[in-house]
């Protein structure tokens, strides 16, 4: 039960951070993960985010502290970090076209 509650709070925290999913929300996410440049559409933001490897829970912590999250060079490094730290985002809570989908990577 405690694990479900923890997952629910992480999901809610990301939803609160991201907002309603406007272009401005997507652009803020791009900036917060350290992407430079201008992205004039949600599609451009999604494509740009595919190149970024960050732990979603670390992203939320970094935003809360006014910092940039740690970025990894590739999926393998992100996977190793995530497994070692246990800082997973609940896969079953991913919305089909939402921002979490753009940041998710296959870990196993």
Are the beta carbons of 48 and 30 closer than 8 angstroms? yes
How far apart are the two ends of the chain, measured CA to CA in Å? 24
pTM of the model: 0.83
Burial of 81 (0-12, 13-18, 19+ CB in 10 A): middle
pLDDT tens readout for residues 13-72: 988 998 889 999 999 999 999 999 999 999 999 999 999 999 999 999 999 999 999 999
């Amino acid at each position: 039960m405690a694990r479900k509650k923890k997952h629910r709070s992480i999901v809610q925290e990301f939803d609160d951070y991201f907002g309603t999913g406007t272009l401005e929300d997507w652009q803020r996410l791009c900036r917060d993960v350290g992407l430079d440049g201008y992205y004039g559409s949600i599609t451009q933001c999604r494509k740009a985010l595919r190149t970024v490897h960050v732990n979603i829970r670390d992203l939320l912590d970094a935003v809360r502290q006014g910092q940039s999250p740690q970025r990894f060079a590739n999926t393998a490094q992100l996977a190793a970090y995530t497994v070692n730290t246990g800082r997973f985002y609940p896969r079953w809570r991913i919305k089909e076209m939402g921002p979490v989908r753009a940041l998710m990577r296959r870990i196993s």
